[in-house]
Amino acid sequence: MQTATQDITPQISDTFPINGTDYIEFYCGNAKQSAIYYQNAFGFKLVAYCGPETGVRDRASYVLQQDKIRLVLTSAMSPEHEISQHVLRHGDGVKVLALWVDDAENAYQTAMERGAVSAREPETLKDEFGEVTIASIHTYGDTWHTFVDRSKYNGPFMPGYMAKESPIDVKPIGLKYVDHCVGNVELGDMNRWVKFYQEVMGFKLLITFDDKDISTEYTALMSKVVSNGNGYIKFPINEPAKGKKKSQIEEYIEYYRGAGVQHIAVATDDILYTVDQLRKRGVEFLYVPETYYETVEARVGKIKEDMNEIKRQNILVDRDEDGYLLQIFTKPVQDRPTVFYEIIQRAGAKSFGKGNFKALFEAIEREQEVRGTL
């Protein structure tokens, strides 16, 4: 099955400089309660807030942070609000994948000249801590990319937000940065969105997986991974492929009512600790059977971690030419079978766990079976 191709030629000139992920914003039904979940279960600290108490009348937003990962959870105050409409249609889901840039206006103008669709024109927001310039474009589904220049700002998050501390004793679990964010798009749309990232945002195609790489007896999908110039932003894009039964991508699109963010992979340096903590705090993970571990050492060779512990925590292992990686996937974090998280620890490996696709997909199919959606 040597159908995957990986191009790791370094990009000479970066036509669309991005420094990294700035924040990920969820529109949710009850941001106040979601904020408690992310504090207690995932160990994020509450750092900022906006809402009626800060003069924002139509919504409330909670900004949560753990090392370099920043989540914003937002709910609306009225049923007519576009946030409420988004939640009605999609359930809780990712609205914004915000990108940290040096010049938000320039990023927006460049994207627009190259064919992007505007979501929000550039605006410079100011308060006593300085200024932040933001501008947004549309990507797949109802999802936006917001460009953020915060070089002239030293407040807690953005003008309009006040610093706010967690009322509870939050214990971080070692999450460090966003490794990659995966989008699910409708059948036949993958190449259109890959082209968008290439042509509008100067990304390059990193890897292609076809349905021979990612299939089980019942379901299949195709995936292409695009990455920006410095490689800090990696967006795999999935589309369903024909199989005997309904694929997890089709299930997602049915329940999300369209394309959207499927999973956010967050990196840790100590996956055994991170996953142990998540489990103790009530986060559920996909399950791979014991038989997975019968062949794992033959496939990946020696690793630094204790294989018994890896097995006990049900963590997946894969190896590529640069090293190995450890990964595990949560079950969906809301009632609709849509968004979930991946916890990943890289020991040199730059890939995405191709060797685990089959075990992973079978694990998802078992969940689909229980949900009656296979």
Radius of gyration over every alpha carbon of the chain, rounded to an integer in angstroms: 20
Task: Report the side by side order of strands in the sheet with 323-329.
Answer: 5-6, 204-209, 220-227, 234-241, 175-184, 260-268, 340-347, 323-329, 316-320
Identify residue 214 by its one-letter amino acid code.
I
CA distance 204 to 162: 38
Q: Quick one: which of 25, 250, 251, 342 contacts Fe ion (CB under 5 A)?
A: 342
Residue 213 binds to Fe ion (criterion: CB under 5 A): no
* Least Å from the CB of residue 248 to Fe ion: 13
* Least Å from the CB of residue 179 to Fe ion: 8
The smaller minimum CB distance to Fe ion, of residues 50 and 69, is found at 69
Answer for the pair 83, 27: CB distance below 8 angstroms, yes or no: yes
Residue 60's Cβ-side half-sphere holds a number of Cα atoms within 13 Å equal to 15
Kindly report the number of other CB atoms within 10 A of residue 305's CB atom: 17
The smaller minimum CB distance to Fe ion, of residues 211 and 342, is found at 342
Q: Find where tokens 């509450």 sit.
A: 46
Answer for the pair 152, 128: CB distance below 8 angstroms, yes or no: no
From the list 92-100, 114-122, 217-225, 339-347, the region that binds Fe ion by CB under 5 A is: 339-347
The string of DSSP letters for 20-38 reads: EEEEEEEE-S-HHHHHHHH
Q: How many residues bind Fe ion (CB under 5 A)?
A: 2
* Least Å from the CB of residue 228 to Fe ion: 17
Query: Which of 201, 292, 178, 189 lies closest to 237, judged by CA?
Result: 189
The smaller minimum CB distance to Fe ion, of residues 120 and 358, is found at 358
From the list 45-53, 145-153, 183-191, 341-349, the region that binds Fe ion by CB under 5 A is: 341-349
x/- map, 242-281, Fe ion, by CB under 5 A? -----------------------x----------------
Residue 237 binds to Fe ion (criterion: CB under 5 A): no
Identify residue 122 by its one-letter amino acid code.
P
* Least Å from the CB of residue 76 to Fe ion: 30
CA distance 262 to 372: 20
Q: Residue 79 has which token pair?
A: 């049923």
Distance between start and end Cα atoms, the chain: 25
* Residue 253 DSSP one-character state: H
From the list 41-49, 183-191, 201-209, 337-345, the region that binds Fe ion by CB under 5 A is: 337-345
* Least Å from the CB of residue 361 to Fe ion: 13
* Least Å from the CB of residue 329 to Fe ion: 8
* Least Å from the CB of residue 16 to Fe ion: 23
* Least Å from the CB of residue 160 to Fe ion: 33
From the list 51-59, 85-93, 334-342, 357-365, the region that binds Fe ion by CB under 5 A is: 334-342
x/- map, 350-369, Fe ion, by CB under 5 A? --------------------
Residue 148 binds to Fe ion (criterion: CB under 5 A): no
Q: Residue 231 has which token pair?
A: 């490689």
CA distance 209 to 324: 19
Residue 326 binds to Fe ion (criterion: CB under 5 A): no
Q: Which positions touch Fe ion (CB under 5 A)?
A: 265, 342
